[in-house]
Amino acid sequence: MKEKLGFMPKNSGRRAALIALLIAASALGWIPARFAGAAPIPPEQQNWKWELYGPRVDEILMPVILDYDARLMAFKKGDLDTCFIQPTRVAEVKDDPNIYILTYQTFNLQFLGINCQQYPWNYTAVRKAVAHLIDRDWIIRNIFNGFGVPVETAIPPAFGDWYNPNVPTYPYSRELAKKELLDAGFTYDEKSGKWYDPSGRPLGDIIIQVPPQEQAPWLFQEAQRIAEEGKSIGLPIKIEAIEFQALVSQIYSRTFKSFILYLGWDRVPTLAYELFRTGGSWNFWGISDPELDKLLAEFYFTTNLTKAKEALWKAQEKVAEILPYIPIYSGIANVGFRTDIAGVVLNKPVGGQSYLTTLNVFHIGTPFGGAYRTPLGSDPRTLNPFTAISGDEWAVMNNILETLFIPNPDQVSDNLPWLAKSWTMEEVEMGGSKVTKITFRLNDNVTWQDGVKFTARDVNFTWWFIKINKPTQQYAAVFEKMIKTEVPDDYTITVYVNGTSWTYLYDLNVAIVPAHIWGNESLLKQYGGWEKWDPSKVPHPTKKGLTCLIGTGPFIFADRKPGEYILLRWYPNYWKRHPSKTISLEYSVSATSLYEGEPLQVTVKVKDYTGNPLANATVSIALTKDGSVVKSVAASPAGAGTYTASIDTSGISGDVGISIKASASIAGGTFEKTATASVSVKPAWQKYLPYIAVGAIAAIAAIAAALYAARKKKTKAAEEAAGGQQPSAQ
Amino acid sequence: MVLDGLAKYLLRRAADRAAVLFVALTLQFALLRVLPYYVLGIDPSFFFMNPNLTNEQRELIRRAFGLDEPLHVQFAKYVLALFTGNLGYSFYTRRPVMAELAERLPNTVILLGTSTLLTLLIGLTLGLLLAMKRGTRFDTTFIGVSVLINSFPTFYLGLLLLLVFGFYLKWFPLAGSVSRPPPSDPVLYIADYLWHMTLPLLTLVTAGVGGYALLSRNIFITQMGEDYIVTARAKGLDERTIMVKHVLRNVLPPVITIVALALPGIVSGAVITETVFSWYGVGRWLFEASTQFDYPVVQGVLFIEILLTVVSLYIADIVIAIVDPRVRLR
Amino acid sequence: MLHVRNLKMYYEVGSSYVRAIDGVSFSLGKAETLGIVGESGCGKSSLAATLLKLLPSNARMLDGEIIFNGIDLVKLPEERMRKEIRWKNISIIFQGSMSALNPVMKVGDQIAEAILAHEDGVTKREALERATEILGLVGLDKSVAKRYPFELSGGQRQRAMIAMALVLRPKIVIADEPTTALDVIVQAQVLKLLESLREKLGLSLILISHDISVVSEISDRVAVMYAGKIVELGPAESVLLKPAHPYTRLLIEAVPSVKGARKTLKHIPGQPPDLSNPPPGCRFHPRCPYATEECRSREPELVEVEKGHYAACHLAGGAG
């Protein structure tokens, strides 16, 4: 044995060590995968370059699972392909070898909103002092398990070049907090440990309002932490627990004191205008600064993005001085996926999953086909795009309806053309006032899911619908100021909006609905009107199997059981259908050359995009000569996706092309594939060539032989004649 | 003459119950319409969460929900509407509450109906058994177990069952009332539905049985200790006759009341169980509506529940009056 | 007809025994009324329950015999006890409180039930008729049969109970505190009824009461119980006019007299003993004004003081 294991060290001690090492190594391999560590992101996902075509999966199944624990259980069990992982559950999921986690920063900003009209928050020094008391790192690490990015400016850095990095910030420092107050004329009495405001009275309670501990324990903890910091320098920071709806009511009526909540930013900072200008609908803080108002107006009311950015930079400086709210952090989300899922597209640098995920996602090993199972945390109450509010409702509709452009996943602040292939925005004069004119050029190959062609009329209809009916989710300034639209042809639309603002472009980018459904007044009236009806519950007026919730998007609303699940099926005639998601064709011909009159056997195998044989395809084979069809035959199915045809070649000769065409209907759409081959057909008589050749050769041989024989005879006869005249010489 | 007394008694009871109903409706109206709108300033336009709403839009919304009329008119309309089956329109979906209720009712009634039936049957029978075996080890063990299980919060029990039987053992599904997508064959569909119903049913029955068992045990023990039982035994009657003819007839009044009080729960659902198991029912809906301040829904469902309670109790009144002569002749 | 010899029945409570009936012996003749008198807790009600074996699960029949017509009831199996003895031969009248009768059954039905349980081949109608009949016997109107117990007065209920106890013409009727819940006038009526029925039907009656005046009215013989034992037994006149046991004497003296001068109420000092741990010797010695050393150490036996009159006292036969 020793001799055979040449690598074994001679030294027995070292040998023992090596053996021990080997045993340990094998034991490690033996240990269940649980302890082997987190599942890495599969290379198919890591190296995935997103495509503009799809969808790859055939179905999206969205089961409704209300309870978060049950949802996570279903995900870990394998009933779901993806699930949002709450920060406290990340550790539990990280060790599962069947799950990998993608993380991304969100646009949500958690902040301390302050009512700047209420004492004592109305003192800027108080606001700045409290800002210095927020230890963001501690909060992120201890309350959010590290899943957050600290934000110190009113406009977070996530906004790229909209963000001004040079504004003053208020880093965590108790000394600086005290300094702010002292510099502003506040006094601190060491003995009593109380602060006095510049007017001499004792500083009143600084109140932070949060939802009750039972509802949002993390917010409560944060407030507690800040209050503790305040206590350490004698500031009377108090926490008030208040029911969420009551708090919102107070916020709207401007009677609140201060609160910690989340602000849902969009990818462009349009909200800044309403947040900080005097009288802005989101200006709950009650600030009013004429200079800031001027800058914000400059930022908002221009169609020149460079000017807008410049103005916003300056505005940010002002806002940092006033500090109407104190930003705390932006969340980092963790989303789990089963290890057989790839094609998830995340927006760079921040912002979550791109719309393109719905087109790109697939199961590894099945490039096309299958189902993607993603849960809904609540049952969508209504699937009416104009009245739906919840994220779950839009999670469904985002697969069905589409917009004019989408964020570019490689740079989320850029736009990627979608239904609109290009657009221009300019300022023009109209009736004495400045007007924004935006022209969109639309793609001409888009169809609605019921087969009707998508045109500029649908876009026009959607905008006017919003303007007239004012649905609260979509209605924005742009619709109020919309003057008129022009539709010069089916794929061009121009809109004129009173005033000048680049934001109009973004506000116009709503989900486009089909005019022929939403404009059908009698249909809507029958089901309660545009507000009350749920189009997903109404059958399509003409197409069986469809509902009135149709869009231009990659998925059709196929099935729903209220409270249980929603099923979406892919739209086979989707205008961006993946070119490779089609049928495949294999063929074989019996010969590459044959004689006229001989049958040509062609065998064709048709498969769908998952590799399954298609038994209901129509296969036709045509013979072409010089470009025109000379014979056409339909192949007959031989079962299991194989089709055979036997073509009679009489009457054809020369180099003949074979054109094989297969077409099949899958999921309601028609797919075709063609292939070509060639065959050379020789004239029938050529078949007999060999025989002729042989015959000819035989004949020639026979003639040659006969000639030779005749010649020989002649020579002999001549010899005999010559020999008779002379006696033999003996 | 007996019937006369009975009729008078029942009439009195009917008046009582009707009064309770009226008071409950008034309270409900005050709490769910007057308080939020007139006192707290919350109204349907509010929960659209859009500060961009103009006052004009808010007025329109208020008018749509009838909040612009004087209070007593609103109340009259409200009561009239309730009794004609119009439970109002949900603030959230703007669809009729009745329609949304109808969607969720079957799921709740099937689950809660079965669980109430089983819980009552098992609980009451168990109580009887325990009363008969009072003092034995069976009795004391079971009381301990009952109290223990009764003190588990329902969500804990539900999640525990889900974890063990759904996740680890994989015997039962983790959510919903049918598979997604459900089988098309009707027999298989029913089997699938029952398979999904098993864990929530188990949760509800386990959580509820203990309480009813202890309750009925006490009722039985009380009756069995009564003097007339001793008389009956002295008369030479066998245990079975005593149990059926004497004890049972006397425990009926409290037991009927217990059953009557359990009945309205069949419609109002069990919010926690419905949430944990993603069971599409009325309980969960009521809870969501409450947190979303969807008042018409809350009002509508509560009204149904109150009505059912009052009707159940009245039926109990009738049955008890027939069974217990003391009630109608005194 | 009934001979009880050295009957011992204890209740098992926890780890100790409550000696409710600790060696009781007496006899009951045909058509005779035996009165048993004693304080609450002396064991007289337990005696009634023991005779019919209607004891709770923690009762232990430790010793003794109950011979009824030659059969020892102590050893008789439950089935036979239920079918042959209870109600048919020995019945019992409880205090006519609200709960002695089933509140949700008509009186007539309850009586009929007793008939139906013991006699085969009787129809419901016949049983009901007999029930109505027996109600007449105790002086109640026929309509009572259709009424519920709560519709009757206390006196009527007691009579109904009596009627029910007699319906099967038993040989022995035990009346356990039949008059306790009633006022004096009704008390007298009920006692008179019992006596007349006993005569008419020729049955034997065991009348149990804590009230010696009640017992003295109609008893032929009287037994005085104290602390689970019979301390005096004999013809009513003898026992009541010439009590031999100090306890009996004190009981009689304690009854307030309507006639004669008003004197302070006499009462028996002290409390009845704890039956799970009775005092040594004579159980009455802690309360007895005449207790001697012997009383404290040795338990007295029933000795004949005069003909047919027995007392369990060391000082009996001469003292007093």
Using CA atoms, how far residue A398 sits from A83, A244, A388, A572, in Å, is 18, 28, 12, 17
Residue B324 lies in a domain: yes
Both tokens assigned to A266? 């969009």
Token pair 């609140």 is found at A256
Q: Which residues of B touch A534 (CB under 8 A)?
A: 93, 95
Which of B42, B49, B170 lies at the smallest CB-CB distance from A77? B170
Instruction: Evaluate if residue A33 carries a pLDDT over 50.
Output: no
Which of B228, B238, B241 lies at the smallest CB-CB distance from C100? B228
Both tokens assigned to C3? 């001979």
- Enumerate the β-bridge partners of residue A498: A435
- Enumerate the β-bridge partners of residue A604: A587, A643
Q: Which residues of B touch C102 (CB under 8 A)?
A: 228, 231-232, 246, 249-250
Q: For A5-139, where are the E strands, in sequence order?
A: 59-63, 82-85, 99-114
If we measure between CA atoms, which residue out of A534, A535, A570 comes closest to residue A53? A570
pLDDT score, position A428: 92
Both tokens assigned to C90? 């020995």
Domain of B8, in residue numbers: 1-84+296-330
Q: What are the residues whose beta carbons fall under 8 Å from the beta carbon of C12, sequence distance 6 or more?
A: C58, C59, C60
Q: Which of C102, C173, C206 to mutate to test the interface with B (most CBs of B within 10 A)?
A: C102
SS3 A684: helix
Q: How far, in whole angstroms, is CA A318 from its chain's centroid?
A: 37
Angle CA C86–C204–C113, to nearest 5:
35
Q: Are residues B120 and B38 in the same domain?
A: no
Q: What are the residues whose beta carbons fall under 8 Å from the beta carbon of B156, sequence distance 6 or more?
A: none
Using CA atoms, how far apart are residues A425 and A634, in angstroms rounded to an integer? 54
Q: Are residues B145 and B274 in the same domain?
A: yes
If we measure between CA atoms, which residue out of A32, A31, A35 comes closest to residue A95? A35
pLDDT score, position A81: 96
Q: In what order do the strands lie in the sheet with A599-607?
A: A584-589, A599-607, A642-648, A636-639
Q: Are residues B19 and B123 in the same domain?
A: no
Give pLDDT tens digits for B27-55.
Answer: 888 887 777 667 666 665 555 545 555 66
Phi-psi domain of C308 (left: phi exceeds 0; alpha: psi -120 through 50; beta: other): left
Residue A711 sits at φ, ψ, to 5 deg, of: -65, -45
If we measure between CA atoms, which residue out of A587, A577, A552, A564 comes closest to residue A671? A577
Residue B89 lies in a domain: no
Asked if residue B243 lies in contact with residue B229, where contact means CB atoms within 8 angstroms, the answer is no
Using CA atoms, how far residue A493 sits from A320, A490, C292, in Å, is 41, 8, 127
Asked if residue C203 lies in contact with residue C194, where contact means CB atoms within 8 angstroms, the answer is no
pLDDT score, position A553: 95
Average pLDDT over residues B148-175: 89
Residue B95 lies in a domain: no
pLDDT score, position B47: 53
Give pLDDT tens digits for A465-513.
Answer: 999 998 878 888 899 999 999 999 999 999 999 999 999 999 999 999 9
DSSP state of A88: G
Q: Are residues B330 and B221 in the same domain?
A: no
pLDDT score, position B69: 76
**A30/C116: higher pLDDT:** C116
pLDDT score, position C249: 85
- Interface residue C151 vs chain B (CB under 8 A): yes
Give pLDDT tens digits for A111-149.
Answer: 999 999 999 999 999 999 999 999 999 999 998 888 899
Q: Are residues B167 and B305 in the same domain?
A: no
Q: Are residues B153 and B262 in the same domain?
A: yes
SS3 C272: coil
Q: Are residues B21 and B107 in the same domain?
A: no
Instruction: Evaluate if residue A409 carries a pLDDT over 50.
Output: yes
Q: Which residues of C touch B245 (CB under 8 A)?
A: 105, 113
Q: Are the beta carbons of A562 and B280 separated by less than 8 Å? A: yes
Average pLDDT over residues B75-83: 81
Cis ω on the peptide bond leading into residue A150 (within 30° of 0)?
Answer: no
Asked if residue C110 lies in contact with residue C145, where contact means CB atoms within 8 angstroms, the answer is no
- Interface residue C153 vs chain B (CB under 8 A): no
Q: What are the residues whose beta carbons fall under 8 Å from the beta carbon of B151, sequence distance 6 or more?
A: none
Asked if residue C7 lies in contact with residue C64, where contact means CB atoms within 8 angstroms, the answer is yes
Q: Are residues B303 and B164 in the same domain?
A: no
Both tokens assigned to A538? 């109404």
Q: How far, in whole angstroms, is CA A386 from its chain's centroid?
A: 22
**B9/A685: higher pLDDT:** B9
Which of C88, C92, C102 lies at the smallest CB-CB distance from B228? C102
Angle CA A526–A529–A531, to nearest 5:
145
Give pLDDT tens digits for A78-101.
Answer: 999 999 998 889 988 988 899 999
Q: How far, in whole angstroms, is CA A13 from its chain's centroid?
A: 60
Using CA atoms, how far apart are residues A400 and A512, in angstroms rounded to an integer? 10
pLDDT tier, C257 (very low <50, low <70, confident <90, very high otherwise): low
Residue B90 lies in a domain: no
Instruction: Evaluate if residue A24 carries a pLDDT over 80.
Output: no
Question: Cα distance from B224 to chain C (closest Cα, Å)?
Answer: 11
Q: Are residues B136 and B48 in the same domain?
A: no
Q: Are residues B302 and B287 in the same domain?
A: no
Asked if residue A510 lies in contact with residue A440, where contact means CB atoms within 8 angstroms, the answer is no
If we measure between CA atoms, which residue out of A496, A41, C292 comes closest to residue C284? C292
Instruction: Evaluate if residue C272 carries a pLDDT over 70.
Output: yes
pLDDT score, position B147: 85
Q: Are the beta carbons of B235 and C83 separated by less than 8 Å? A: no
Instruction: Evaluate if residue A459 carries a pLDDT over 90.
Output: yes
pLDDT tier, A25 (very low <50, low <70, confident <90, very high otherwise): low
Give pLDDT tens digits for B64-73.
Answer: 666 777 778 8
The burial of A108, by beta-carbon neighbours within 10 Å (0-12 exposed, 13-18 middle, 19 or more buried), is given as: middle
- Interface residue A562 vs chain B (CB under 8 A): yes
Using CA atoms, how far apart are residues A184 and A170, in angstroms rounded to an integer? 16
Residue B93 lies in a domain: no
Asked if residue A586 lies in contact with residue A617, where contact means CB atoms within 8 angstroms, the answer is no
pLDDT tier, A691 (very low <50, low <70, confident <90, very high otherwise): confident
Q: Which of B235, B251, B252, B330 to mutate to test the interface with C (most CBs of C within 10 A)?
A: B235
Element (H, E) at B187: helix B186-224
Q: Are residues B268 and B306 in the same domain?
A: no
The burial of A14, by beta-carbon neighbours within 10 Å (0-12 exposed, 13-18 middle, 19 or more buried), is given as: exposed
Using CA atoms, how far apart are residues C197 and B155, in angstroms rounded to an integer? 68
Chain B to chain C Cβ contacts (< 8 Å): 73
**Could you give the number of structural domains in chain B?**
2
In C, minimum Cα distance to B251 occurs at C104
pLDDT score, position A5: 41
Instruction: Evaluate if residue A45 carries a pLDDT over 60.
Output: yes
Mean of all residue pLDDT scores within chain B: 84
Q: How far, in whole angstroms, is CA A245 from its chain's centroid?
A: 33
Using CA atoms, how far residue A321 sits from A167, A210, A295, B203, C127, in Å, is 9, 25, 14, 58, 103
Token pair 């969808």 is found at A55
Q: Which of B46, B154, B161, B180 to mutate to test the interface with A (most CBs of A within 10 A)?
A: B180
The burial of B151, by beta-carbon neighbours within 10 Å (0-12 exposed, 13-18 middle, 19 or more buried), is given as: exposed
Q: Is the dihedral of CA A317, A323, A325, A330 positive or negative?
A: positive
Residue B301 lies in a domain: yes
pLDDT score, position B44: 58
Q: Are the beta carbons of A66 and B275 separated by less than 8 Å? A: yes
pTM higher than 0.90 for the full model?
no
Give pLDDT tens digits for A240-285.
Answer: 998 887 888 888 888 999 999 888 888 889 889 989 999 888 899 9
Instruction: Evaluate if residue A551 carries a pLDDT over 70.
Output: yes
pLDDT score, position A417: 96
pLDDT score, position A4: 42
Total count of residues recorded for chain C: 320
Residue B256 lies in a domain: yes
Chains C and A touch (3+ CB pairs under 8 A): no
In B, minimum Cα distance to C173 occurs at B234
Instruction: Evaluate if residue A571 carries a pLDDT over 80.
Output: yes
Instruction: Evaluate if residue B110 carries a pLDDT over 70.
Output: yes
Phi-psi domain of C94 (left: phi exceeds 0; alpha: psi -120 through 50; beta: other): beta
Q: Which of C104, C113, C206 to mutate to test the interface with B (most CBs of B within 10 A)?
A: C104
- Measured from the Cβ of residue B121, the count of other Cβ atoms closer than 10 Å reads 13
Residue type, A328: I
Question: Cα distance from A284 to chain B (closest Cα, Å)?
Answer: 10
Residue B183 lies in a domain: yes
If we measure between CA atoms, which residue out of A71, A149, A52, A146 comes closest to residue A336? A71
Q: Are residues B219 and B320 in the same domain?
A: no
- Measured from the Cβ of residue A607, the count of other Cβ atoms closer than 10 Å reads 18
Residue B251's domain is classified under what CATH number?
A: 1.10.3720.10
Instruction: Evaluate if residue A441 carries a pLDDT over 70.
Output: yes
